Structure 1
Amino acid sequence: MPFVNYSLLDYLAVIVDILLVWFVIYKLIMVIKGTKAVQLLKGIFVIIIVRLLSGFLGFNTLSWMMEQALTWGFLAIIIIFQPELRRALEQLGRGRFFSRTITQEDEGKEAIVEAIIKATDYMAKRRIGALISVERETGMSDYIETGIPLHSKISSQLLINIFIPNTPLHDGAVIIQKNEIAAAACYLPLSESPFISKELGTRHRAALGISEVTDSITIVVSEETGSISITKNGELHRDLSSEMFKEMLTKELLAVSKQKQTSSPRWNWRGKRNG
């Protein structure tokens, strides 16, 4: 059907069709945003680019290899992206797939920081061991699934109660996601760095390990000494005073978030700061 013969309704149908396709693509990107699947997706784009270039330049063998990779890639995508696909189907079943995914980042941040500071100070004085990880840009859904789901509002009382010794949830990490306690008793990857002090235990190794694979902020309270530590970007900041801890946590969770709001992404050419 020639394009010039389209009626007004046909034009509207085409526009709506295009908008719906883009909306679905956008939602799919939001599902995998911040997960390991993003890096794998970049690898697929590299294969496609190499395939096009090799065909254009006449590299037949390389072109054939890339063609085979793309031919069998659909099956590989299903296997590799299995956690993300499962999560998307679960959200679709709960009616959340087409819900609003972008919320105000700073909404409730002050309450979160205040609750963490109050709970950490209480536990440090009584030498109650704790491990709290706050999700930022990189998704932590894979680690949340290893724990006990809570999806509860954050309060200092709840955080303290979770880490009271000999309670069902005290062993493991609490993960905070989107202004709520997503899960407790979560397993975090242990750092294999040879430079970690021998006197540091499993909590510190787990906190450092999760900071090596995500951009999360993780707080550790030592049950031996009551000292407070923070890990971020593969760095461990040990034995922080109450003032230093409050200043660092506020800077990372509030100041950075506000800076993102006031800075336009198009003109923000600075890389990550290593605090």
Structure 2
Amino acid sequence: METANFFENITTSFVITNLIDILIVWYVFYLILTVIKGTKAVQLIKGIFFIIIGRVISNFFDLTTTTQIFDMVLQWGFLAVIVIFQPELRRALEQLGRGSLFRASTSSEEAALEKLTQDMLTAVRYMAKRRIGALIVLEKETGLKDYIETGVPLYSEISSQLLINIFIPNTPLHDGAMIIQGDKIATAGSYLPLSESNKIAKDLGTRHRAAVGISEVTDAFTIIVSEETGNVSVTQGGKLTKDIKMENLEELLRKNWLVTSNAKEGGGLFARK
């Protein structure tokens, strides 16, 4: 009878109100996790969870002394958390005051792409000016596992300094292709299939033929820096576009660089070979 009365009292407004309540709580927790991500607070939160689990277990087995100790820790833990998390709390309040806390949750991918794009442009501009040959492949939907396995695995963070250093002449990895998955350098010194197309100019070397070759068999986006002329070219869909300006390259990177993607066999941001 009580159950029947409960369901009779449920109204549409009641359901909507509670749903909004749950969504607000979930979003607040999401923002908190966004703020503390990558900080020491993550490890401290894990410690708090262990304390709570220990409290539940000790109470279940009726361990009186242990339970009292856990209760004391939890009782004073609130003040300890405020002291320990003071830098994170201050940063969160500052971001909230600027309104950037809410923007960060919706534009993190755009911010990551912006940083990666600028690092890539800085590296390409540096190498083009000094005629340092380079071949950089950006993986998209088609996995590049077969070609990654031919190179030296790195799975390192992307920076302009590292991009430049890998292609410095007479270094072990400068003469192959670099393959990028999401926001990581997956490998360097990889071998790519050479295109047999007779549309490629005879004065273009192996780098350009390899770039066209990989774009013929996959949907990868490839950047080539010529060591003879310093010109920058790109390939996609089997098409080679030469003498790309930096502003055009920036636009192409924003369009073709998949910073995040689902893990999949042979590719993706979190894929590991």
Q: Which TM class, normalised by the smaller chain length?
A: 0.5 to 0.7
* Gaps in structure 2 of 5+ consecutive residues: 1-107, 262-273
1:19-68 deviation line (CA, Å, top 9, x unaligned): xxxxxxxxxxxxxxxxxxxxxxxxxxxxxxxxxxxxxxxxxxxxxxxxxx
Name the counterpart of 1:125.
Answer: 129
The alignment's TM-score, normalised by the length of structure 1, stands at 0.53
Question: Once the 2 structures are TM-superposed, how far is the Cα of residue 123 of structure 1 from its aligned partner?
Answer: 0.2
Question: Once the 2 structures are TM-superposed, how far is the Cα of residue 105 of structure 1 from its aligned partner?
Answer: 7.0
Q: Does 1:175 align with 2:179?
A: yes
Letter in 2 for 1:173: A
Name the counterpart of 2:230.
Answer: 226
Report the aligned-residue RMSD: 2.1
Name the counterpart of 2:247.
Answer: 243
Question: Once the 2 structures are TM-superposed, how far is the Cα of residue 112 of structure 1 from its aligned partner?
Answer: 2.1
1:156-191 deviation line (CA, Å, top 9, x unaligned): 100000000001110100000131000000000000
Letter in 1 for 2:231: S
SS in 1 for 2:242: strand
Name the counterpart of 2:144.
Answer: 140
1:49-90 deviation line (CA, Å, top 9, x unaligned): xxxxxxxxxxxxxxxxxxxxxxxxxxxxxxxxxxxxxxxxxx
Q: Distance in 1 between matches of 2:257 and 2:151?
A: 23
Question: Once the 2 structures are TM-superposed, how far is the Cα of residue 106 of structure 1 from its aligned partner?
Answer: 5.9
Q: Distance in 2 between matches of 1:251 and 1:220?
A: 17
State percent identity of aligned pairs: 62
Check whether the contact 2:151–2:189 (CA below 8 A) recurs between aligned residues.
yes
Question: Once the 2 structures are TM-superposed, how far is the Cα of residue 250 of structure 1 from its aligned partner?
Answer: 2.0
Question: What is the count of residue pairs matched by the alignment?
Answer: 154
Name the counterpart of 2:48.
Answer: none
Q: Distance in 1 between matches of 2:250 and 2:109?
A: 20
Letter in 1 for 2:218: T
* Gaps in structure 1 of 5+ consecutive residues: 1-103, 261-275
Higher Cα Rg, which structure:
2
SS in 2 for 1:160: helix
Q: Distance in 2 between matches of 1:242 and 1:105?
A: 22
**Match among 197, 215, 218 for residue 211 of structure 1:** 215
Q: Distance in 2 between matches of 1:140 and 1:105?
A: 23
Question: Once the 2 structures are TM-superposed, how far is the Cα of residue 154 of structure 1 from its aligned partner?
Answer: 0.4
SS in 2 for 1:184: strand
Check whether the contact 2:113–2:254 (CA below 8 A) recurs between aligned residues.
no
Question: Once the 2 structures are TM-superposed, how far is the Cα of residue 241 of structure 1 from its aligned partner?
Answer: 1.5
